[in-house]
Structure 1
Amino acid sequence: MITVLTGPVGTLPHQVFESRKHSQPIFSDFSRKLVRISRKTLSLKMAQAAQNPTRQQKVIITNKYGNKLVGILHESGTKEIVILCHGLRSTKEDDIIINLAAALENAGVNSFRFDFTGNGESEGSFEFGHYWREVDDLHDVVQHLHRENPKVIAIIGHSKGGSVVLLYASKHHDIKTVVNLSGRYDLKAGLEERLGKDYLERIRKDRFIDVMQKFLITV
């Protein structure tokens, strides 16, 4: 099942885990419970629960490129687990990601939130774009969790992470439930919005382009 929930980047849909098209809750088969998460549920109390160190474990995974990816495992005493993927220039500590982890924890579902290469605590250099590199990161995380025995029942991505989980689903077919939260569906439009419509001409001319005074795209 692939669920795409749209909205302004940085916002959270009213019901995160319910498919609007089919009105079928993603986790309806999990312990035969209907899991619904609303804005009221994503509260400060849940964010505080997500910071409870007795229910968290830091996990370090080496990806295929030799970089160490750092993540936080939220344990709820079950084998099933959901992987949470952050957006552009964000980290596993993003409020939306933390609140999702807390909501899942409160619903009795394990979760794993991690930093992509070059973000947060993870090693490597941040590169603008490179969605397939992050797909590789996600695949390494999935494989690591499978080796540790948890059953990965869903991958959820927010903003850029939403596009990453869709690309993952197009390449790998080992996760049945994929959720895209406010991810872009037209990536070309996103580039033009950030860099200007003439970005390709500028790259050809200068061989690089400044991105927000910090990041570089090179050819």
Structure 2
Amino acid sequence: MNFEKINFKNTAGYELSGRLELPADRHPHSYAVFAHCFTCSKNFSATKNITRAMTSAGFGVLRFDFTGLGDSDGDFADSNFSGNVDDLLAAIDYLKEHYKAPSLLVGHSLGGAAVIYASAKADSIKAVATVGAPSDTKHVRHLFGDQLDAIVENGEATVQLSG
């Protein structure tokens, strides 16, 4: 496997940190973008393992840190689902401009929900794969704890997740 460290800007002007993994013995037959889970990064072990298996199968795979996570600029506290989708579209545009437009989006957990949404906005995408993506928000409702009433009443609240 070969790789290149890359950086690209999203529409908000933040620099996002990525890693493009390429097959070791051939040119990629296709390109893909991998979206990590909610509070993970491009270096999460599952993300690395999946992208490396994909490069072994001939894909070029861009994995990157969403705004405010890992090595990317921005403040995670100011990020949201729409921003993650915008980050994915910026990653797609980067590949399209510098390599070849990706035809596959892969997402883990909330990254899976984001790739589903982003796929409808990117003409080059022919397939989407998700790993443990939520189909409903009920499974995270308990994370809001005693702030759920404030969220319903005010439309927002500060919630502490994972410390």
| Bin of the TM-score, shorter chain as denominator length | 0.7 to 0.9
What is the one-letter code of the residue matched to 2:134? R
Is residue 9 of structure 2 the alignment partner of residue 59 of structure 1? no
| Identical-pair percentage | 27
Is residue 129 of structure 2 the alignment partner of residue 179 of structure 1? yes
Which deviations, in whole Å up to 9, do the C-alpha atoms of 1:95-131 show, x marking residues without a partner? 1110111111211221111000011000001138711
Is residue 15 of structure 2 the alignment partner of residue 68 of structure 1? yes
Question: In the alignment, which residue of structure 1 is the partner of 2:50?
Answer: 100
Runs of 4+ in 1 over 6 A off after TM superposition: none
Question: In the alignment, which residue of structure 1 is the partner of 2:28?
Answer: 78
Question: In the alignment, which residue of structure 2 is the partner of 1:152?
Answer: 102
| Farther off after superposition, 149-158 or 135-144 | 149-158
Question: In the alignment, which residue of structure 2 is the partner of 1:113?
Answer: 63
Greater helix fraction, Structure 1 or Structure 2: 2
Change (3 A) 1:130 1:194: same
Q: CA contact under 8 A between 1:116 and 1:137: conserved in structure 2?
A: yes
For the aligned residue pairs, the C-alpha RMSD in angstroms reads: 2.1
Is residue 147 of structure 2 the alignment partner of residue 199 of structure 1? yes
Q: CA contact under 8 A between 1:132 and 1:167: conserved in structure 2?
A: no
Task: Tell me by how many angstroms 1:211 deviates.
Answer: 1.5
- State which of 112, 116, 129 in structure 2 corresponds to 1:162: 112
What is the one-letter code of the residue matched to 2:149? E
Change (3 A) 1:200 1:170: farther
Which deviations, in whole Å up to 9, do the C-alpha atoms of 1:107-156 show, x marking residues without a partner? 12211110000110000011387111100000011011101132312000
Q: CA contact under 8 A between 2:150 and 2:157: conserved in structure 1?
A: yes
Task: Tell me by how many angstroms 1:213 deviates.
Answer: 7.1
Consecutive unaligned residues in structure 1, runs of 5 or more: 1-48, 50-54, 215-219
Question: In the alignment, which residue of structure 1 is the partner of 2:158?
Answer: 209
Distance 1:171 1:151 in 2: 13
Task: Tell me by how many angstroms 1:170 deviates.
Answer: 3.6
